[in-house]
């Protein structure tokens, strides 16, 4: 690919969560299915959804909910294109096609959340070794795009293909007691991680261990990325941890949105940053959220250091963002939220205009 000044540049290039967004992958919700029942789902799912998942295991999500989410995705794509962003979409996979490996079999989940599945660090687009058996083939729908980006000059990597044997899971997992230590449902049997457990701030990457990301996975990623990057691992107050992007969301350099329930103390490396407490979510309790807490209202996508996409009905968040100096762009997304994500989860920023820099205390020391 050539720039207007004739300089060759890579189609994949993104170092942080806020540089000017040029190209993005937006997920698709077509064919979304409840995964087969498994202990790995119990730990991160909202308490009231565990029985729903067991009852509907291996069946499609209600078609009217899929259709409502599709409509919102279309609106989201329209807004992104109107803001000058190139939008790419995956080819939906058949989630009901059974597959397996020695010792287990499964069907799929969805292709709705590219943020979980793929991690972009600089020019490298990394396929994640995901811990859920229902996501073993989660990158399949994105392969045509991965091939295209590679041919145009991107690095294309993949974590070690996990075996997902029973040894990876704690079949005795139980809900942590109030105030007791958080128990994750995965072990250190092999490296696993979801990309959404990492937040990119230039040379510094913030990570959390979770019910899908283990120390082994974080260590693999750190070695893969090399000495240019530092991964900082923090623990937050999230008894059902799976993905960091409704806990700690850097909106722009020096501007951090935090979940006030999960982040009692802001990590020291953000010293000097403005810290904004996310307003309480206003999603009504009768609105089904299959795979997320209401704090999904924090799952904002920055188009640059000012423009942020935010849920249309979330007036407290819109008002707060305006008061903090941002330009919120509202988009209906509450039906999509039911599937476990919002604007950050539903996207993968493939290219942002910017370069590798250090923004955090440790990165500058």
Of the ranges 59-67, 94-102, 267-275, 338-346, which one interacts with ligand ABU (CB under 6 A)?
338-346
How far apart CA 266 and CA 246 sit, in angstroms, is 15
Q: What is the 3-state secondary structure (H, E, C) of 121-155?
A: EECEEEECCCCCHHHCCCCHHHHHHHHHHHHCCCE
Binding pattern to ligand ABU, positions 108-137, x when CB under 6 A? Answer: ------------------------------
Q: Is 345 in the site for ligand ABU (CB under 6 A)?
A: yes
345 is catalytic: yes
Binding pattern to ligand ABU, positions 8-47, x when CB under 6 A? Answer: ----------------------------------------
Helix (H, G, I), strand (E, B) or coil at 164: coil
Cβ nearer to ligand ABU, comparing 22 with 194: 194
Residue 126 phi/psi, 5-degree rounding, is -110, 125
Catalytic entry in 38, 243, 245, 349? 243
Nearest approach in angstroms of CB 95 to ligand ABU is 19
How far apart CA 285 and CA 252 sit, in angstroms, is 31
Nearest approach in angstroms of CB 341 to ligand ABU is 5
Q: How many residues bind ligand ABU (CB under 6 A)?
A: 12
For the chain, how are helix, strand and coil distributed in percent, rounded to 5? 25, 25, 50
Burial annotation 25-52 (CB, 10 A radius, 16+ → b, else e): bbbbbbbbbbbbebebbbbbbbeebeee
Q: Where in 270-309 is the site for ligand ABU (CB under 6 A)?
A: 292-293, 295-296, 299
243 is catalytic: yes
Number of residue whose CB is nearest ligand ABU: 243
How far apart CA 191 and CA 130 sit, in angstroms, is 9
Contacts with ligand ABU, residue ranges (CB under 6 A)? 196, 243, 245-246, 292-293, 295-296, 299, 340-341, 345
Active site residues: 194, 243, 345
């Amino acid at each position: 690919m050539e720039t207007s000044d004739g300089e060759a540049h890579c189609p994949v290039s993104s170092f942080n969560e806020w540089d000017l967004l040029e190209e993005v992958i937006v997920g698709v919700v077509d064919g979304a299915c409840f995964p087969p029942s498994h202990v790995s789902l119990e730990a991160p799912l909202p308490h009231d959804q565990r029985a729903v998942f067991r009852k509907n295991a291996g069946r499609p999500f209600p078609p009217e909910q899929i259709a409502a989410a599709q409509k919102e995705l279309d609106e989201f794509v329209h807004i992104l294109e109107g803001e000058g962003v190139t939008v790419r979409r995956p080819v939906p996979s058949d989630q009901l096609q059974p597959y397996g490996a020695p010792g287990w079999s499964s069907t799929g989940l969805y292709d709705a959340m590219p943020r979980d599945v793929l991690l972009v660090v600089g020019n490298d687009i990394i396929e994640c070794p995901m811990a859920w058996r229902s996501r073993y083939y989660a990158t399949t729908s994105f392969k045509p795009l991965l091939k295209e980006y590679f041919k145009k000059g991107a690095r294309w990597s993949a974590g070690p293909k996990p075996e997902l044997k029973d040894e990876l899971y704690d079949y005795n997992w139980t809900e942590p007691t109030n105030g007791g230590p958080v128990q994750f449902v995965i072990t250190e049997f092999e490296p696993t991680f979801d990309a959404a457990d990492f937040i990119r701030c230039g040379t510094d990457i913030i990570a959390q261990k979770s019910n899908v990301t283990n120390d082994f996975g974080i260590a693999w990623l750190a070695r893969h990325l090399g000495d240019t990057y530092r991964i900082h691992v923090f623990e937050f107050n999230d008894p059902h941890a799976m993905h960091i992007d409704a806990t700690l969301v850097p909106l722009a350099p020096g501007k951090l949105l935090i979940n006030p329930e999960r982040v009692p103390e802001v990590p020291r490396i953000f010293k000097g940053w403005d810290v904004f407490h996310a307003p309480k979510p206003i999603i009504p309790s009768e609105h089904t959220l299959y795979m997320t807490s209401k704090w999904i209202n924090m799952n904002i996508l920055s188009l640059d250091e000012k423009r942020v996409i935010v849920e249309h009905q979330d007036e407290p968040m819109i008002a707060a963002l305006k008061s903090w100096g941002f330009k919120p762009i509202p988009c209906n997304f509450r039906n999509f939220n039911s599937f476990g994500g919002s604007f950050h989860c539903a996207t993968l920023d493939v290219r942002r205009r910017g370069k590798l820099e250090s923004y955090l205390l440790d990165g500058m020391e």
